[in-house]
Amino acid sequence: MAGKKYTDAQKEEFFRLLDRGGTVRAAARAVDVHEDAGYTWARKAGLSMRRAEPRQYSAELKAEFLKLVRERQIISTVARELGIHKPTAYAWARKAGISTSEARRVNPRREEFLRLRAAGLTRAQARTEVGADARSATDWDKGITIIKRGRIYPDGRIVRYPERDTGVMPERKSRAIGGSVDLNIVEKLIDPRYLSVLERERIQDLRRVGVSMRQIAAEMGRAPSTISRELHRNTVSTRGYMPHTAHRLSVRRRRRVRQPKLLTHGALLLYVQLKLKKKWSPQQISRRLVKDFPTNPEMRVSTETIYQAIYVHARGELKRELSQQLRRGRTTRKLHRKPDARRPRFVDPMNAIDQRPKIVDSREVPGHWEGDLIIGALQGSAIATLVERSTRFVLLGHLGKERSAEAVRDSLIETVKHLPHSLRRTLTWDQGAEMSEHRSFSAATNFDVYFADPGSPWQRGSNENTNGLLRQYFPKGTNLAGHTIEDLAAVARELNNRPRKSLAWDTPAERMAALLEGS
């Protein structure tokens, strides 16, 4: 290649491609120029393709990564959980002498599962012993090998599953002048006051033909100082102003990187962690801070900041520990369906609930309750739940394995017997057979019982919401008969001492105490 000459047109096109985000090698190949010449041109023009912000990882993060890889024998998954660049993760594992290729072929849990099955254990018993989920146990039993986004069957068939459409725009990284950039951010239109790529290209064209800054400003409808600052700040090459490079630099300059608030305020972080362990939601924590620390502006954090601390900034074991305290136990956000993808809801005609006094709907008068059962594993156990509409105060009735109409009646009578008469007005239930003894219940307690329409859970919205909260204590598929009356009272007490958004962040216990004192 020595002595080979390239035309000015090739050189001009090379820098145009480089400015538009191409790499030196790709731009050189596109204009039929040797890559060594391309690197020489870029270096003499003062342009650098090096990463502007090199990744830096702490020694503690590296130690945690190596510990988890030795335990789990999966490098890529651990790297993704800890936020480590995958090539870096594999380099660390290689230098530490860790090879997961053999471990992937021999799965200790699968081998132990198959041994237990050969010993006569059922599939459910064997998977419980090794701590596997039902899907993996079924695949192991059938001789199916699990691969990334697919399965290999014993007869040699390979089934590949398509990438899941999450509805989220994937990150599109590109190595360009000034370092790696996120193309989604670069291409995003923020506000007309910022110069766009088209305007920057216009500046370059007018500048090349010798138009002054004031004339450029007048033609574009911008202030002369805007053009002056643009050319001064974003001209990084001896070849002059490059519009796409200037646009990327301006986007990078807008970033305001700072430490998350919860990581810089120890007292605030401790408060959030303690309340999460008490199963408070992030919104409850955020709003209750205002009541608990009314004169301390430092003790403020938004709901979204708490979720970000769990979903984004927390890594590894900390992320799993914090996410388990959330109501649904998720480690990532659940994507919401698009409105046009939701199935229509058909409402049956309303009957008995129409006879209920209209004042119940206002929630202004206390003493109106909603009730239902939460059912345990295999329909073999249950707990009766009652919630007062105005205060959201919760009462739990013990049933155990008996859920006949007589058992439900007796349990409800025992549960409400300590309520004053002013708090015994109405009870709204669904049309389950367990309330067929409602007349006896009414006679014993002075409650008027009303039934919601079939398939209309929103008519008992407070109770449905409460049952969802109670599932954090009594998960689906578990035996509820093992919980004593004292256990139920402790759960109700903890739930009644949570602040509620619907109560202006008061607790149900506080509202109920105020009612009892007033009466």
Q: Quick one: which of 10, 12, 6 has its CA closest to 240?
A: 12
Cα(194)–Cα(492) distance, integer angstroms: 55
Continuous H helices in 20-122: 24-30, 35-44, 59-72, 75-82, 86-95, 101-105, 108-118
User: pTM for the complete prediction?
Assistant: 0.40
The mean pLDDT value for 280-300 works out to 89
The sign of the dihedral angle between the CA atoms of 71, 76, 82, 86 is positive
Burial pattern 429-457, b for ≥16 Cβ within 10 A else e, equals bbeeebbebbeebeeebebbbbbbbeebe
Q: Which two tokens stand for residue 182?
A: 């996120």
Residue 319 scores a pLDDT above 70: no
Under 8 Å between Cβ of 136 and 118: no
Confidence of residue 385 (pLDDT cuts 50, 70, 90): very high
Q: In what order do the strands lie in the sheet with 145-147?
A: 145-147, 150-152, 158-160
pLDDT confidence of residue 495: 92
Better-predicted residue by pLDDT, 196 or 316: 196
Contacts of residue 251, defined as CB under 8 A and 6 or more positions apart, other chains included, come to: 181, 185, 186
**CATH of 352-518 among 3.30.420.40, 3.40.50.970, 3.30.420.10, 3.10.20.440:** 3.30.420.10
In the prediction, which pLDDT does 320 show? Answer: 58
Q: Are 334 and 363 in contact (CB under 8 A)?
A: no
Per mean pLDDT, which range of 265-274, 327-336, 384-393 is the poorest? 327-336
CA angle 131, 136, 137 (to 5 degrees): 70
Q: What is the mean pLDDT of the chain?
A: 80
Token duo for residue 122: 């059922």
Q: What is the reported pLDDT for 475?
A: 87
Residue 344: what pLDDT?
38
Q: Give the number of residues written for the chain.
A: 519
- Contact yes or no for 1/34 (Cβ under 8 A): yes
What pLDDT score does 167 carry?
44
Give the pLDDT confidence of 157-189 residue by residue, as tens digits.
Answer: 777 766 554 444 444 555 556 555 666 666 677
* Average pLDDT, integer, range 446-459: 86
Residue of 247, 455, 203 lying closest to 353 (CA atoms): 455
DSSP string, 342-392: SPPPPPPPP-GGGGS-THHHHT-SS-EEEEEEEE-GGG--EEEEEEETTT-
The residues, any chain, with a CB within 8 Å of residue 245's CB and separated by 6 or more, are 19, 47, 176, 177, 178, 234, 236, 237
Mean pLDDT in residue range 311-340: 58
Residue 127: phi and psi, rounded to 5, are: -70, -30
How wide is the angle at C-alpha 236 spanned by C-alphas 235 and 239, nearest 5°?
80
Given a cut of 70, is residue 304 above it in pLDDT? yes
Phi, psi of 151 (to 5 degrees): -145, 150
Quick one: pLDDT at residue 174? 52
Dmax over CA atoms of the chain, in Å, equals 107
Give residue-wise pLDDT tens across range 428-444: 988 877 888 888 888 88
Answer whether residue 147 shows pLDDT above 50.
yes
From residue 397, give the alpha-carbon distance in Å to each of 120, 294, 420, 484: 41, 38, 18, 10
Give the DSSP H/E element, type plus range, for residue 323: helix 316-324
Enumerate the β-bridge partners of residue 152. Answer: 145, 158
